[in-house]
Amino acid sequence: MAWLFNEEQYTKRYRDALSDGVDLMYLSAYNWLSGMVTDSEPSVDAGAGDYFNTNPPPKNIHSHTTHSRAFIAQHSNRPVVLITSGGTTVPLENQTVRFIDNFSAGTRGATSAEYFLDAGYAVIFLHRQFSLLPYSRHYSHSTNCFLDFLAEGQDGEVVAKQEYKDKMLEVSRKYNAAKRDNRLLLLPFTTVSEYLWALKEIAVLMQPLGRLGLFYLAAAVSDFFIPSDRLSEHKIQSSEIPKQRQYGTINPSRSGGTSSAQAKKLMIDLDPVPKFLKNLVEGWAPEGMIVSFKLETDPSILVQKAQAALDRYSHHLVIGNLLSTRKWEVVFVAPNAEEHWIRVPSHRRVKSVSGQDGIMQRPSMAALTKDAEPLTQDELTDTTELEIESLIVPEVIELHQNHIQAHVVPGETSAGK
């Protein structure tokens, strides 16, 4: 792909930032310790500073920042996308046995990562531990058990079954190419705290990339959490009900009733997770392009909620989707633009294990929106299964190229001006 930017310009910008005394390690450490942005940055949500002041950095944050710093420096002359993927957990104890989880297998993020890699991007993949990963996702889901693709050869060796060889070879070649070029960095998280710390630190490290940086925030992030200083240290014992006492925010208590088992209740007092998009837009990555996702179950409020998020955080794109149709229908909501629907035709949708379009069947929004266009004859005759991410990512890339071109270099003119 021929990128519409001056590689030398952005490479020089990155190196100049280092030579002019912008020590990225120091900047990262400063933000780590203070939990606040520097005075030179625009004001952002104070709740973020409070969060990082009261919730200590996770053990893996140093490893994540070390690997990210080297990766970003290597790819300073190409677009770099940070993809977040999978759900976050909210622990109920410091030594965690129980936790609240968010619904997400990581399909959107893992699939999108492959298409970004195909387009020449370097990808930082910040993912829920054990969720789907680029390339291995083809064989890690219950519908595609890896052993089903293998057979015993004539001489007792393990071989791929003939009907799967072409697909396996294609996936293997792409994976090995990304690995050879070091264009895919995998960074795991589990808890919401691990996710937020990593997002902040990586975003700060991506600042020298300027508009070459892209944030594709597909993770399902918890809306509520228990602050670390209010967590029970050990496993909450259901058999031990303390008198006139709470385990931080966890309150096992008795109420009226004839049975002690019926009377036991676990009361959980959760705090809202601060909204970090504003910090990303105005403080951590002020020049990068930021894409967020909005998942709803009620089709009547989807676009409204997406537009509200756009208005509140002033970022670049919200991709809205419904729980029931997310595999084959999304809507783009961007500033100063009409809503834009992307759909996979019904005859090309990837089937679930049941052979249906999805586990939950609901009517498409196509009949309710004005840009539902009839299919051409060629589209009707093509029955190849189509992943919706193959349609989403090219359009996001086009918007990102426009974002890059909108940058006006002093002494130069922009094609968009």
pLDDT digits (tens, 9 = 90+) for 169-218: 999 999 999 999 999 999 999 999 999 999 999 999 999 999 999 999 99
Strands 158-160 and 99-101: unpaired
**Cα–Cα distance, 272 to 50 (Å, whole number):** 12
pLDDT of residue 373: 57
Over 50: is that where the pLDDT of 266 sits?
Answer: yes
Sign of CA dihedral 28, 277, 192, 55: positive
pLDDT digits (tens, 9 = 90+) for 352-386: 533 444 434 444 555 445 455 555 555 555 568 89
Exposed / middle / buried, residue 198 (Cβ in 10 Å: 0-12, 13-18, 19+): buried
pLDDT digits (tens, 9 = 90+) for 106-155: 999 999 999 999 999 999 999 999 999 999 999 986 667 889 999 999 99
Other CB atoms within a 10 A radius of the CB of residue 245 amount to 9
Contact 375, 383 (CB under 8 A): no
Over 70: is that where the pLDDT of 323 sits?
Answer: yes
In this structure, of 61-65, 128-132, 254-258, the range with the lowest mean pLDDT score is: 254-258
Sign of CA dihedral 237, 243, 246, 251: positive
Contact 290, 280 (CB under 8 A): yes
In percent, the amount of the chain with pLDDT more than 90 equals: 65
pLDDT digits (tens, 9 = 90+) for 44-56: 566 787 899 999 9
Three-state secondary-structure class, residue 85: strand
pLDDT digits (tens, 9 = 90+) for 4-57: 444 444 444 444 444 443 333 333 333 333 332 333 333 456 678 789 999 999
Which of 76-80, 137-141, 227-231 has the highest average model confidence (pLDDT)? 76-80
Chain centroid offset of residue 46 CA? 23
Contact 71, 126 (CB under 8 A): no
DSSP labels for 5-74?
A: S-HHHHHHHHHHHHHTT--HHHHHHHHHHH-S--TTSPP--HHHHHHHHHSPPPTTHHHHHHHHHHHHHH
- What tokens does 203 get? 């975003």
For the chain, which residues make up each domain, given as ranges? 7-223+283-405, 227-269
pLDDT digits (tens, 9 = 90+) for 299-315: 999 999 999 999 999 99
Residue 184's H or E segment, with its range, is: strand 184-189
pLDDT of residue 263: 60
Fold for domain 7-223+283-405?
A: Rossmann fold (3.40.50)
With CA atoms as reference, report the closest residue to 317 among 342, 297, 337: 337
Other CB atoms within a 10 A radius of the CB of residue 130 amount to 11
150 HSE (CA, 13 A, CB side):
9
Q: pLDDT confidence of 270, banded at 50, 70, 90?
A: very high
**357, 361, 362, 363 alpha-carbon torsion, rounded to 10°:** 40
- What tokens does 395 get? 């359009």
Over 80: is that where the pLDDT of 411 sits?
Answer: no
pLDDT of residue 142: 65
**Cα–Cα distance, 215 to 342 (Å, whole number):** 20
Contact 88, 189 (CB under 8 A): yes
pLDDT of residue 155: 94
